[in-house]
Structure 1
Amino acid sequence: MSKQQRLVYFSILDTFIVFAAIYISTLFMFPSSPVFTAQLFILSTTLMVSYLVFASIYKIYQRAWEYASAEEVVMLVKSVTFAVLTAALIQSFISSDVYYRVLASTWMMQILMILASRYSFRLYKDRNKGTLNKEGKRTLIIGAGMAGTYVAKQLKSNTCELNPVAFIDDDPLKQALHILNIPVVGGVEHLEEYVQDMDIDNIVIAIPSLSKKKLFEIQAACHKTGKETQMIPMIEDLVTGKLAVDDMKKVEFHDLLGRDPVDLDTHSMKSFIQGEVLLVTGSGGSIGSEICRQVSSFDPAAVILLGHGENSIYTIERELKESYGDRIQYFTEIADIKDRERMMKVMSHYRPKVVIHAAAHKHVPLMERNPFEAVTNNVYGTKNVADAADASGVDTFIMISSDKAVNPTSVMGSTKRIAEMVVQDLNKKSSTRFVAVRFGNVLGSRGSVIPLFLDQIRKGGPVTVTDPEMTRYFMTIPEASRLVLQSGALAQGGEVFVLDMGEPVKIVDLAKNLIKLSGYTEQEIGIHFSGIRPGEKLYEELLNDNEIKETQVHPRIHVGNTVDFDIKLVLKTIENLSMKEDEEIREVLLSIPRQYSKSVAAVQ
């Protein structure tokens, strides 16, 4: 119906209800008296006009009764009450005899009849819409709260293929109830039984406020059923219409790490970056490019995008300029950090306040086969950038390191530890604050395990895992990037910052979850254990025993103690590695952190 048709329809309906209510009440109260009298006609006409006036004031006819709540009922009661009081007042002026009992009965009957008419209209629409989904996929909704109820209602009245047939909720007060004529059958602990007994095709997780840990547990239970599992968007997005129920997404891999995202102090980061000039090496990489995005959100004056690959630098420059326009200046420098003279020239030209050094070789097996390249890039490249920062008076230098630098067993880890030693030594004699930030495995970054697994799944498998006991710490790219900025804001100089990443995750569990999230079973996409590769450890550490500090500068950030070492001796040890064979280079590199740890232990 149009707006005008709706107004006419409900006005006529309510007029009939008002007259019916007052005449039926009179008949009940005075069964032997005549009903159709002039006085009663005047009273009923007065009541009808009064009600239409107050209904207009309280916008009764502008309300969508198919979505009625307690507020609509309150407005209706107010309209009828004031109409009855007005009719009584007018009757008292016309006649000394006021029909109080009739008006009281009319008041109650009018409210009930109008509510019944609106509810019948709503019931009729819901029943017609509900017939659309009778043949859809039998869907079990986890969560019988506001979000779950909203989802069920929308699915029942929507043309999508999902047909809600049951709720699951751990709240015992909701169990055995019916919501929208859909039963709440029990708790998550019996999920498999319900899925089997009720022939469920699809599961929807409808608890937007769910913590990562609880989501991990529920998702694991859903996976055991072998049924497709989806999760609704945030309820605010559903209610505001930004997203529809049809936009339910499959649970992504970063939802399954068993912990909530780390929130950091954005105020201190903004004061550290706003209005300043920053230089980011490795800007085209997955970490470097995200750092540039995060930096840009805090309104720096300028960002220098430095990298070796022209295509990746062009891509991130274009993205940032499209997002921020002329608000921030972006400068691009295609340069190799191994070129010391070029680093000096770039740094002296821009004189940034902050340098974030993200350029590095990070692939463990590749660096095992190319150890000297790891040394020239990760060690000498870092020294070139750090020396240039020192010479140009940079305020803060942040080096991106790795958890593989702790008790390293690989070339990559050793070169990262030596690079940490280089910047820690510079911090002792420079006005620049030099700090290092250790990352865990960054989800979705180039060369990480997740893209590899997804590619293997797309190709039909198997998914290759090195060892069933292999564990790693994981962090998201935004978490890693914010950690860098937070560390710069907290830096005093010489520290090693580490993000609290919760409990380590088994790689094989990650592989299993990704297989199921992709809609396959382990029978369809197998898992092959290939054995530990050269340089790899079964588990990673965040801090060396000698670095552990009891206090924290932030609830989710650990800071390692700085320790003494002779950097000249370290650099002299690797000075002539270019003349050696790969295996000898590897032995020398691995010996340096071990010798350093022994010397520290001896001093203590």
Structure 2
Amino acid sequence: MIGWDALAWVLALGGFLMVRHEFSLSERVWITAATYVGAAVTLQVIGGFWTHLYLGRSKIGSFDEVTSLGTLVLGISLVLGATSFIAAPLFSRGIVVVMPMLALLIMAAGRWIFRATRGEDRRRNVEVPGVPALVYGAGDAGHQLAGLVDHSADPPYAIVGFIDDDPSLRFFRVRGYRVLGRGRDLLSVARRTGAEAVVLAVSQASPQLIQDVNDECTAAGLELVVVPPVREMISGRLELDKLRAFNVADLLGRRPIETDLSEIADYVAGKVVLVTGAGGSIGSELARQVRAFGPSKLVLLDRDESALHATKLSLDGNGLLDTDDTVLCDIRDREAVCAVFSRLAPEVVFHAAALKHLPMLERFPEEGWKTNVLGTRNVLECAATNGVQAFVNISTDKAADATSVLGQTKRLAERLTAWYAGQTGMRYLSVRFGNVLGSRGSVLDTFRAQIGRGGPVTVTDPEVSRFFMTIPEACELVLQAAAIGRPGDVLVLDMGEPVRIVDVARRLIEESGKDIQITYTGLRDGEKLHEVLLSAGERGQGTEHSLITQVSVPRLEPGDLLATHADLVQVEGALPMQGNVAGKGVR
């Protein structure tokens, strides 16, 4: 590159003199011109090393490198131009004005030829061509993917063309690969080009688009590969080894979750934070995320010693359980809970302990009452008595228009939290969201176990749908909600579009490669066909975060609840589904 840049100055001088003067210059001007070129080349080499241009500062031919090159040439032209005007008044002014531009043009042309030739050589020199693939999406992700394939010594895919739904890109080319059609032309283009795979390079693809493309690929026997969302990449840069097969998480969509780290840190950093249900899926992930904000102490509380041990081990690799930051305690035991609060003095509480399996609670409603209602009341009472500044009750979408024991008990927990917020004036609030994908005992566990046994996979109804979110996304938004919530709020997380359970089952069956049947068992007692995030009488209000909505629930005084406990076990311990608690209106 040094030799080419030096030659560029000579060629620029020759071209200028031939066109402008036809080489008819006096001997003195020839000497001056040669001196100018010699000085320019010298400054080019010195400046190139000083700015690291020739030491690998930027990729050859990249925008950054050409920008640095242009800056260097401009500097040389200004220095030599000023010197020439002062030292040689009769010097051709055209040389100092036009020649640097010609030199820069020649330098850039050489780099363009280098990049173009090198790229073609790499394509030709691939010993084992990759799988012929169509790329769906000619945007930024598609450009990155094409560049990676072109510059890889052993690319897994050989791009045969692009597909994009934008009609204005009909003749568009991405690094020489042409856009061959729109999404509706996917199968015909695949047959025409001999594609064996489709790479979905749309980083914010909707669940419906992903499902539609997957259905087409499955029907045609094409492999579907997806570019991961930005949150799964490093600094937003795509890597070939990050491409992966379409999985269940892709059904949820790819909304970026943005959180204000400073707001979260303000109420967590340096505080004593207690997480109930820390052995569960949500509780353990909350503990992991809270730990990153530097609390003075993170207390893990659970009644399951094995789950508590697993969480502690995942946090710091210490499984001895001999420190006071791991607490074995059942939230049903009020005295034990209050003793923990009195001894450890937590300032922030995340209450994730609960019984959550809907069919079991329909069979044993009294157990749901003891844990989800009385247990929550115990934690709230001990928190208020011991001066807890912030209390976050983890709720569920089943609390909206509750038809099940689970929903009604969690609804009561929300109302109790609101009452304690009113009594203390502290930030006591609830956060409501839907099913968490991959949590312990979730539908994924059930389906995978059924697939492992050879089937069938049981789904209640072909149209049943649920809101889903991944565990990290849910916990991240819980932390953000707690930062912006006000006392007594119920904050509802935007769960995106609901997903049909049968689509999740089909995706898992496809991943297994097995021939598994799906059978429909019918909705169970208390179960809805479609969940909602807000009750019919609730009116959501926006918050400063686009994915969090605020609603209000009527407060429920603990005394009113306890006074009617005897009425809740009238029929074989069943929690009444349609009645109310002492006229207070459970629903």
Q: TM-score range by the shorter chain?
A: 0.7 to 0.9
CA contact (8 A) 2:564 2:581 kept: no
**Amino acid across the alignment from 1:199:** G
- 1:39-118 to structure 2, matched below 5 A, reads 42=31, 45-59=34-48, 61-62=54-55, 66-69=60-63, 70-71=66-67, 74-75=70-71, 78=74, 114-118=107-111
Q: CA RMSD in A?
A: 4.3
Question: Please, which moves more after superposition, 382-391 or 241-250?
Answer: 241-250
After TM superposition, list the pairs within 5 Å mapping 1:336-485 onto structure 2.
336-420=330-414, 423=417, 435-456=429-450, 462-485=456-479
1:244 is matched with which residue? 239
1:531 aligns with 2:522: yes
TM-score, normalised to structure 2, is 0.80
Residue 333 of structure 1 and its aligned partner are, at CA, apart by 0.7
Structure 1 equivalent of residue 265 of structure 2 = 270
Give the aligned partner of residue 590 of structure 1. 576
For the pair 1:560 / 2:546, whether they are aligned, the reply is no
1:121 is displaced (CA, Å) by: 3.3
Distance 1:276 1:264, change over 3 A: same
Equivalent in the alignment of 2:178 = 183
Give the structure 2 partner of residue 225 of structure 1: 217
Which of 542, 557, 569 aligns to 2:533? It is 542
User: Whose Rg is larger?
Assistant: 1
Q: Verify the 8 A CA contact 1:18 1:44 in the aligned structure 2.
A: no
> Residue by residue, what CA displacement relative to the aligned partner does 1:376-427 show, whole Å, maximum 9, x if unpaired?
3333333333343344343444333322234444333343344445555666
Residues 552 and 41 (structure 1), Cα distance of their counterparts in 2 relative to 1, 3 Å cut: closer
Corresponding residue for residue 147 of structure 2 = 153
Query: Following the alignment from structure 1 to structure 2, what is the Cα–Cα distance between the partners of residues 77 and 14?
Result: 10
Output the CA distance in 1 between the equivalents of 2:501 and 2:159. 35
Cα distance in 2 between the residues matched to 1:364 and 1:377:
14
The amino acid that maps onto 1:595 is N
Q: CA deviation at 1:181?
A: 2.0
How many pairs are equivalent? 567
51 and 170 in structure 1: CA distance in 2 versus 1, 3 angstrom threshold: farther
Task: Give the drift of 1:446.
Answer: 0.8
Indicate how the Cα distance of structure 1 residues 91 and 22 shifts in structure 2: closer, same or farther if over 3 A, else same. Answer: farther
1:457–1:83: structure 2 CA closer, same or farther, 3 Å change rule?
Answer: farther
Contact 1:65 1:118 in 2 (8 A): no
Could you give the per-residue CA deviations for residues 478-507 of structure 1, whole angstroms, max 9, x where no partner exists? 343345445545565554443233443322
Is the 2:391–2:429 Cα contact (8 Å) retained in structure 1?
Answer: yes
AA partner of residue 224 (structure 1): E
1:332, CA displacement in angstroms? 0.9
Distance 1:527 1:165 in 2: 37
Counterpart for residue 124 of structure 1:
117
Alignment-mate amino acid for residue 40 of structure 2: Y
- The verdict on how the C-alpha distance between 1:551 and 1:243 changes in structure 2, with shifts beyond 3 A counting, is closer
Contact 1:407 1:594 in 2 (8 A): no
1:305 aligns with 2:293: no
Q: Please, which of 315, 318, 339 is the counterpart of residue 310 of structure 2?
A: 315
Q: For residues 61 and 212 of structure 2, what CA distance do their matches in structure 1 show?
A: 36
- Sequence identity (%): 33
Deviation at 1:167, TM superposition (A): 2.1
CA displacement, residues 523-561 of structure 1 (integer Å, 9 cap, x when unaligned): 945433232234422122334334x14645555223233
CA distance in structure 2 between the aligned counterparts of 1:319 and 1:116, rounded to whole angstroms: 55
Structure 1 counterpart of 2:564: 570
CA contact (8 A) 1:47 1:86 kept: no
Residues 346-405 of structure 1: CA deviation (Å, up to 9, x unaligned)? 122123233332112111223334444333333333333334334434344433332223
Offset, 1:473: 2.2
State the Cα deviation string for residues 1-38 of structure 1 (Å, max 9, x = none). Answer: xxxxx6xxx42x5566665665677677888x999x97
* AA at the equivalent of 2:579: R
Measured against aligned partners, the alpha-carbon deviations of 1:557-590 in whole angstroms (never above 9, x if no partner) come to 232331568424431213x57xx6xxx333xx13
Q: CA deviation at 1:470?
A: 0.9
Residue identity in the other structure for 2:148: Q
SS of equivalent residue, structure 2 residue 573: helix
Q: Does 1:286 align with 2:281?
A: yes
Deviation at 1:118, TM superposition (A): 3.7
Counterpart CA distance in 2 for 1:330 and 1:509 is 45
Would you say the 8 A contact 2:141–2:238 is kept in 1?
no
Q: What stretches of structure 2 of length at least 5 have no aligned partner?
A: none
The amino acid that maps onto 1:192 is: L
1:3 aligned residue: none
Is 357-366 or 453-462 further displaced after alignment?
453-462
Partner secondary structure for residue 374 of structure 2: helix
**Greater CA deviation, 112-121 or 195-204?**
112-121
Cα distance change, pair 245–67 in 1 and its aligned pair in 2 (3 A): farther
Using the TM superposition, give the Cα deviation of residue 82 of structure 1 relative to its aligned residue in structure 2, in angstroms.
6.6
Q: Could you tell me whether the CA contact under 8 Å between 1:228 and 1:519 is conserved in 2?
A: no
Check the 8 A contact 1:55/1:61 in 2, yes or no.
no
**Rounded Cα–Cα distance in structure 2 between residues aligned with 1:86 and 1:131:** 49
Superimposed CA distance per residue, residues 426-455 of structure 1 (whole angstroms, 9 cap, x where no aligned partner): 667667765443331122211111333345
CA shift for structure 1 position 155: 0.4
> How far apart, in 2, do the equivalents of 1:320 and 1:313 lie?
11
